Amino acid sequence: MTALEPPEDAPRVELCDQMATLWRGGEKRDFTLEEMPEKLARWQLESKHSVYDAIERDEFIPFNAGHLPVVATWGQDSLTPNLANKGVGFTPRDEYIEHYVDLVESAVEEIEKVPSHETEVTRALRLEAAREFYRHPEHVDWRRLGLLEIFEGTTYRNLAGNPFASVLWTGNAPVYLSYQVDCLVEIIERGDPRYRFAWAMRRLFEYEPFHIVQTIFPYAYCFWIIGSRDKTPKRRYPGKRTDNTVNEGHGRIDSQSRSS
């Protein structure tokens, strides 16, 4: 066993249909899996297409909010969470994953025949492979997220001992769409098709300027969604409201809250 391999009594996550089971210290706990909220899924799809369009036009991409949320993990005895922006993507549903692994790995095989710095030569092929997946949102498994581990640092240590994480996305003005999703985390290894898909998708864009080139990805994570919260900011009106178009409290705005 190397220093980084989890101990034999490490928590274990098992999946069965719509349930995830965590085994830890001889105890079993079940969680119901949930799909990502529809508004967040729509935003993710639009974000992917926007970023691919920007790559196609060779535009500067200052930040990719859909892909780089803040991920919180914590050890069982931690007083505070560890926060880090992580690259987060999606994986195909099990019944489609073989097809998409083949599609993206074949594209990677082609682009590796060309010197890595010649990104312009392979751009069309790389974009077509990535777009093909997101062109079929019904093929995406919206219950799970895929992440690649690089440094085996605090996030990895936390997840190996306490396989829970929260993810927070925040979009741009004027909406500032923001969601937290809470996840049970499965650590997955190289042979797993979810690892292969995530790694192949990464390699499609490895040498674009927005990526810091990486070649070592010892593990991947499958974040199974077990809860979510809409954190998008809204103006507070009198009364409880979740949508600016509803008319709870008769939809009236009191005189003190008026502004122009």
Partner 1 sequence: MNYITRNVLEQVLARVGAVAEARGDFYLIGETSLVWEDHRSWTDEIEVCMILDQGAEDVLQGLKGVSEDLGVTVVNEFPGDVVPLPDDWRERCRSIVAGAALRLSHFDPYSVSLRFLARGDEEDYRLVLGYLEHGWVSLDEMDDVVAALLPRFSFETIAQDPAEFRRKYKGLQQMAKARGG
d(CA 30, CA 223): 15
Binding region for partner 1 (CB under 8 A) out of 83-91, 103-111, 159-167, 234-242: 234-242
- Note whether 142 binds partner 1 by CB under 8 A: yes
CA–chain centroid gap for 202, Å, is 13
Q: Rule CB under 8 A: say whether 35 interacts with partner 1.
A: yes
Q: From 116-124, 167-175, 182-190, 208-216, give the range in contact with partner 1 by CB under 8 A.
A: 167-175
Q: Is residue 132 part of the contact set for partner 1 (CB under 8 A)? A: no
| 229 is a site residue for partner 1 (CB under 8 A) | no
- Could you say whether residue 133 binds partner 1 (CB under 8 A)? no
Residue 46 sits in the site that holds partner 1 (CB under 8 A): yes
| Torsion-angle region of 119 (φ positive above 0: left; ψ -120 to 50: alpha; else: beta) | alpha
Query: With CB under 8 A as the contact rule, which of the stretches 181-189, 210-218, 221-229, 244-252 interacts with partner 1?
Result: 244-252
- Tokens 């066993």 map to which residue? 1
Minimum distance between the CB of residue 230 and partner 1, rounded to whole angstroms?
11
Q: At what angle do helices 119-134 and 38-56 cross, to 10 degrees?
A: 160
CA distance linking residue 123 with residue 147, whole number of Å? 23
Query: Order of strands, edge to edge, in the sheet holding 19-24?
Result: 12-16, 19-24, 27-32
Among 41, 70, 125, 127, binds partner 1 (CB under 8 A): 41
Closer of 23 and 237 to partner 1 (Cβ): 237
Examine residue 240 and tell whether it contacts partner 1 (CB under 8 A): no
Structure tokens of 166?
Answer: 């929260």
Structure tokens at 83: 């926060």
Interacting residues with partner 1 between 198 and 217 (CB under 8 A): none
CB nearer to partner 1: give 61 or 246.
Answer: 246
One of 9, 14, 30, 42 touching partner 1 (CB under 8 A): 42
Q: Does 235 bind partner 1 (CB under 8 A)?
A: yes
Measured CA to CA, the distance from residue 89 to residue 102 in angstroms comes to: 18
Q: Contact between 171 and partner 1 (CB under 8 A)? A: yes
- Contact region with partner 1 (CB under 8 A), list: 73-81, 89-97, 123-131, 134-142: 134-142
Supply the minimum distance, in Å, between the C-beta of residue 128 and partner 1. Answer: 16
Binding region for partner 1 (CB under 8 A) out of 87-95, 119-127, 136-144, 199-207: 136-144
Query: 197: Cβ–Cβ under 8 A, 6 or more apart, which residues?
Result: 91, 92, 97, 100, 101, 104, 146
Residue ranges binding partner 1 (CB under 8 A): 35, 38-39, 41-43, 46, 135, 137-138, 142, 171, 173-175, 177, 235, 237, 241, 243-247, 251-253, 258-260
